[in-house]
Structure 1
Amino acid sequence: MDRVDLKPPAGTVGQRADAYAAAPLLNCLLREVAEPVPDPGERPVHRLPGTGRLLRVRPGRRPADPEVHSAGAWHRLSHAELVKLVAEELRRHTGLSDGDLSAEMIDSRDTVAALLAARARATAPEDPYLRSEQSLITGHPYHPAPKARGGGPAAAWMPYAPEAHAHFPLVLLGVREDQVAEEGDTRALDALGTAPPGYRLLPAHPWQLDLVARDLAPAFTDGRLLRLGTTAFDAWPTAAIRTVYEPRRDLFLKFSLDVRITNDIRRLWRHDLLKLRRTDAFATGAFAAMGTPAAWLSDRGYRTAAFAFEELAVLVRDGLRGHLLPGATPLLAAGLAEGFEDSPPAAGSDPQAWWEAYLRQVVPPALTAFGDHGVVLEAHLQNTLVAVDAAGMPVQALFRDAEGVKVLPDVSRATGWERLVYCLVVNHLGEIAAALAEHHPRLDPWPAVRRELARHDLPEIPALLAAPTLPGKTNLLLRWTGADGAAARYLPLPNPLATG
């Protein structure tokens, strides 16, 4: 494959950080709040209804160069000035005062600056799969603070940042046997080291251990917990930050992390863990019945300490090798959308054939799981791997994360379908389509999506193809109003699938 021209923002580290951080914030503002002004001239102009101010940006998948109109002229906004503008607009628009979001937006920008500096000194992994997982400098393209790290100093989180190409050993703890809580298949944890008699092995993420150290101090004092050193190997953090991969053992482990990342504190919550095996069994059964190359990476089981059930929980997930087609290379879909060196969507001479192959791998499993098995996959960019052959053509899709899966009738069919359409079509296919169109301007990606969807006989498909709008998640308003991150709120977006 050819080398990809990623066209990152130019300028100093600070200027580049401003540009990276402004793009998703502007995407949110323009989607959720701003009103387009008719006949704006060369650059799109938007009215902010709360304050009445006019805002213009350089358009595109990643809007840039925000300017506000004042005293008869346009004035360029730094990221800090943009945050102030957004905060004032949202106070007027919602009638609510700011909670933590402004600080998170600043933290997200400062995180990007620190990551850019760290990446300049770091060596990217040779493995293209790991490179794709660690490529997300922009992150979620429609979140106001996608890179916030809880406001802590960079020294606390940088050693564990996937975007800085981090890799690190895990801490090994011993949990007294009468304090172990577990469910499912956790045998892989016992192979990570040796626990003394009367104890079971429990790996811990070192950042999480630092975060909850004070709460755990009594357990170390009275012997419920022991420190057993660290693993003899390094693990690589994936895009999810709290999930790591150890390539030689082909092992994924997902940890709690008491840090807000995008909309949620990223703990493994008790209520999710207690329903994990049921949800995972539904997903595993659905994929087993499909008889296609598509695969589900099973969340096999979890282990934790009863006295720190959420804080120390670790989840064991299927590795890749037992699922991958021979010779195929898995790549994170979010990495394909953002772009990285040798990223297939920007390479190759036949983007139409590539896109049709991509759709054939990704769309049918998600629709079949829903239609035939009542399983609503969270098939967004960060939960989907797309395996490519030696020529970079998609040959297989792999899905993950039982925590985000919904099962009918736990949710209604209408609710499940709306969630699937958002995750699969808006979040996932919309971003890959936009990346393709950016690199290949003569390609219209949506007719191929329409054809692929029309091949499936779900009763919801005709309405989807004819609907004037699709559901778009409102992450800016969700965070400003302090809503639960799981309480998705949608607004209507123009449907590129509709024939009109």
Structure 2
Amino acid sequence: MDRVDLMPPPAGGDSAAPHDVAARADAYAAAPLLNCLLREVARPVAGREGVHRLPGCGKLLRVRGSRRPAAPEVYTDGGWHRLDHPELVKLVSEELRRHTGLPNHELPAEMADSRDAVAALLTARARASAPTDPYARSEQCLITGHPHHPAPKARGGGPAAGWLPYAPEAHARFPLALLGVREDCVVEEGDPSALDVLGEAPPGYRLLPAHPWQLELAGAALTAAFADGRLIRLGTTPFDTWPTAAIRTVHVPERDLFLKFSLDVRVTNDIRRLWRHDLLKLTRTDTAVRTAFAALDGPAAWLSDRGYRTAGFAFEELAVLVRDGLRDHVLPGATPCLAAGLVEGFAGSPLDGLADPAAWWEAYLARVVPPALAAFADHGVVLEAHLQNCLVACDDDGMPVQALFRDAEGVKLLTEVDRAAGWERLVYCLVVNHLLELADALAERHPGLDPWPAVRRELARHDLPEVAGLLTAPALPAKTNLLLRWTGADGADARYLPLPNPLAAG
């Protein structure tokens, strides 16, 4: 299956007819799973394009395509047998059991859930209207999602009716639930005062918005608090919010805010709660990043996580984090879009119809790379500069003029982590997870373009001792999401394997 089959259609909702939803869902779900398998476990067979050997079970696997592998086949009984998604999951599970020596019953179920979620999303998009705002379209286009995760669209295994109303990929819009927390139970840090303009709390209470899905998930744990008056219901916001690609982070256009909530669902590697240990260091981390960005040359911006508010009796379950909106940060006349959306594709993407892709790519690198390297070199700040944490604003001609970064929760400080580990994380997030994916997407659209000389030139402009090693190293660090999930490692316990370094080719 070619790239067009895996991309969202160019306008409106998803135009998939019911009869081909299943086939499209199989293709969307297979691509990231195959990417993981081919990167982490399989071994290419010399001289046979697209053919790989699975070392654990000894079987041969054949795929078409490279950036988004498709049409998986296994060699059996003297011929090639096409695998549907359940058969692919069974093959991957067999290989991993033999490869690791460990069983795992949870991940195969997540792989199936991810595929079924894609089918539900495709069906929902056929009935939905895409947002008119190109920024919102870029946040809500990720049907594939993380391109190197075995189950990027899993939604906890619950029925689709429970999560579709809150799914960004389904173009969801919804009001927030409003709660009142008794004043003596409120816990907050930083500046969450923007929450107070979302509604009105009665005397003796403070306003606390809640994500409706999380409120449903945490309902049983809150029963006593509602019963004794520590928590009261105050209705909903009089306006809708819409979920960003992060699912649990919503945009509030009427107040120019982003709000990030806990969500007791596993999305990719982690249960997406606002964990206490992360919230308690939020102010320190965000202050360090704001200080770093204030000293940068150029228009790069940081969307500050200003503060949080929660209830002491449900610290993690009800936590809400207040993040800067866009209005005060995006350059006048520029239009932001999510970097991950550029890779996935959406109607109105700056990548559509590029007259000079090489010039566009150079401008993109000049906006994205310097802030990340300067924050590291001059301030000891390791940005989590992957595709979902970076916005790129383009001018009326579609040329990148500004990069905006977000999510203090994923930031590391060199006062807390070893410099070598911090650099490895930066290289993974910025180069492997971000630039490599976008470079491949550009090269696929423009077969004559070699994107890597421009990346080498941009990196070489920066006087960091680590850069020289990066430009000559034979391999880059690639996170092993498939093996990490199969072996049950903590999602924050990143494990890397060597990936051939395209920067070293020049």
Pick the TM interval, shorter chain. over 0.9
Aligned residues of 1:345 and 1:435 also touching (Cα < 8 A): no
1:229 aligns with: 235
2:439 aligns with: 433
Alignment of 1:88-487 (within 5 A): 88-487=94-493
Letter in 2 for 1:121: R
Give the whole-Å Cα distance in 1 for the aligned partners of 2:123 and 2:479.
32
* CA displacement, residues 479-500 of structure 1 (integer Å, 9 cap, x when unaligned): 0001000000000000000036
Aligned residues of 2:478 and 2:496 also touching (Cα < 8 A): yes
Q: CA deviation at 1:291?
A: 3.2
2:22 aligns with: 14
Letter in 2 for 1:59: G
1:33 aligns with: 41
Give the whole-Å Cα distance in 2 for the aligned partners of 1:103 and 1:370.
39
User: Given the alignment of the two structures, is residue 58 of structure 1 paired with residue 32 of structure 2, yes or no?
Assistant: no
Q: CA deviation at 1:22?
A: 0.1
Aligned residues of 1:6 and 1:340 also touching (Cα < 8 A): no
TM-score for both structures, normalised by structure 1: 0.98
* CA displacement, residues 292-331 of structure 1 (integer Å, 9 cap, x when unaligned): 2000000000000000000000000011111111001110
* CA displacement, residues 405-461 of structure 1 (integer Å, 9 cap, x when unaligned): 000120010000000000000000001101101111100000000000000010000
* CA displacement, residues 34-53 of structure 1 (integer Å, 9 cap, x when unaligned): 0111111xx41101000000
Aligned residues of 1:159 and 1:168 also touching (Cα < 8 A): yes
2:10 aligns with: none
Give the whole-Å Cα distance in 1 for the aligned partners of 2:338 and 2:450.
23
Q: 3-state DSSP class of the match of 1:291?
A: coil
**Of 90, 93, 113, the match for 1:87:** 93
Give the whole-Å Cα distance in 2 for the aligned partners of 1:17 and 1:179.
46
Q: Mean Cα displacement is larger for which, 356-365 or 283-292? A: 283-292
Letter in 2 for 1:418: E
Give the whole-Å Cα distance in 1 for the aligned partners of 2:466 and 2:166.
43
Q: CA deviation at 1:6?
A: 4.7
Aligned residues of 2:5 and 2:24 also touching (Cα < 8 A): no
Letter in 2 for 1:31: R
2:12 aligns with: none
Give the whole-Å Cα distance in 2 for the aligned partners of 1:215 and 1:422.
38
Q: Mean Cα displacement is larger for which, 5-14 or 90-99? A: 5-14
Q: Mean Cα displacement is larger for which, 108-117 or 56-65? A: 56-65
TM-score for both structures, normalised by structure 2: 0.97
Give the whole-Å Cα distance in 1 for the aligned partners of 2:211 and 2:121.
20
Give the whole-Å Cα distance in 2 for the aligned partners of 1:247 and 1:58.
42
Q: CA deviation at 1:7?
A: 4.3
Q: CA deviation at 1:246?
A: 1.2
- Stretches of 4+ moved more than 2 A in 1? 5-11
Q: CA deviation at 1:240?
A: 0.1
Q: CA deviation at 1:343?
A: 1.0
Q: CA deviation at 1:247?
A: 1.3
* CA displacement, residues 378-406 of structure 1 (integer Å, 9 cap, x when unaligned): 00000000000011100000000000000
* CA displacement, residues 458-485 of structure 1 (integer Å, 9 cap, x when unaligned): 0000110000100000000000001000
Give the whole-Å Cα distance in 2 for the aligned partners of 1:248 and 1:292.
29
Q: CA deviation at 1:348?
A: 1.7
Letter in 2 for 1:373: H
Q: Percent identity?
A: 77
Q: CA deviation at 1:248?
A: 2.3
2:13 aligns with: none
Aligned residues of 2:6 and 2:27 also touching (Cα < 8 A): no
Give the whole-Å Cα distance in 2 for the aligned partners of 1:79 and 1:352.
37
Letter in 2 for 1:8: L
